[in-house]
Amino acid sequence: MSDRDSMGRASTDPSRRHLLTIFPIVAAAMASTWAPAAIALTKADLDRDADLALRRLCKASPAADTLSRKARSVLIFPSMLKTAKPGGQMRGEGILKRGTLVEGYYESEASSRQSPVPAYGYVVFLMTAKAETYAYDGKGWEFGIGPTPVVVNEDTAPSPSVDPADDAYAFVFDRHGATVRVGIEGTRIYKTGWQPN
């Protein structure tokens, strides 16, 4: 929306000037209501949002808490949001952590056709060296090609007393950390240009 008339002069319409003033404020507020990691401005923002998402998930899910202690490393995408691209693509940013160290920064893309919700986050616990190899590969990883994470929900949650046997386990969750049923097969991850500190 331009604030100039057809002659190139500054518009004198106060309602238009008001909209131009408040639009950036409203847009920022809308972005922050779900999970700012999808539009993270800095690595520190993304690190903070990822840690918060993992804590919420582990608090809401005993199975996730158990796997977090057994995993070799973990991929954390705090939020996947629908983009304006044709076909309804979901996109988000995330990190790969081994223990307390951030090993890499990633982007993720998925089809929204598998999602009954407009926004979600997901975590993948990497249990084997094979799964880690795919995550660390600079060419990217498409779930379903190579190790496919087992999506954990109320019906498939592993018992805390059992050592997990699969390469990777994924949890898809809402803003509160509660799991939601979203298919992740075909989801792609790839490294960004950001480097760990």
What are 43-74's pLDDT values in tens digits?
Answer: 999 999 999 999 999 998 889 999 999 999 99
CA dihedral of residues 149, 155, 159, 163 (deg, nearest 10): -20
* Residue 162 domain flag: yes
More confident residue, 40 or 170: 170
Which 3 state secondary structure label does DSSP give 72?
coil
**Per-residue buried b or exposed e for 63-87, using 16+ beta carbons within 10 Å of the residue's own CB:** bbebbbeebebbbbbbbbbbeeeee
- Identity at 191, one-letter amino acid code: K
Q: Which range marks the domain in which residue 50 is found? A: 38-191
Q: What is the pLDDT of residues 142-183, one digit of tens each?
A: 998 888 899 888 666 666 555 677 899 999 998 778 888 888
The answer to whether residues 50 and 24 belong to one domain is: no
Residues 112 and 15 placed together within one structural domain of the fold: no
pTM: 0.75
User: Is 93 inside any structural domain?
Assistant: yes
Given this model, what pLDDT does residue 113 score?
Answer: 72
Q: Is residue 57 part of a domain?
A: yes
Q: Are residues 148 and 58 in the same domain?
A: yes
Question: Do 49 and 29 share a domain, yes or no?
Answer: no
Count of domains for the chain = 2
Q: Does 197 reside within a domain?
A: no
Averaged pLDDT of the chain: 77
- Closest to 57 measured CA to CA, from 78, 42, 37, 39: 78
How confident is the model at residue 11, as a pLDDT?
44
Position 180 scores a pLDDT of: 84
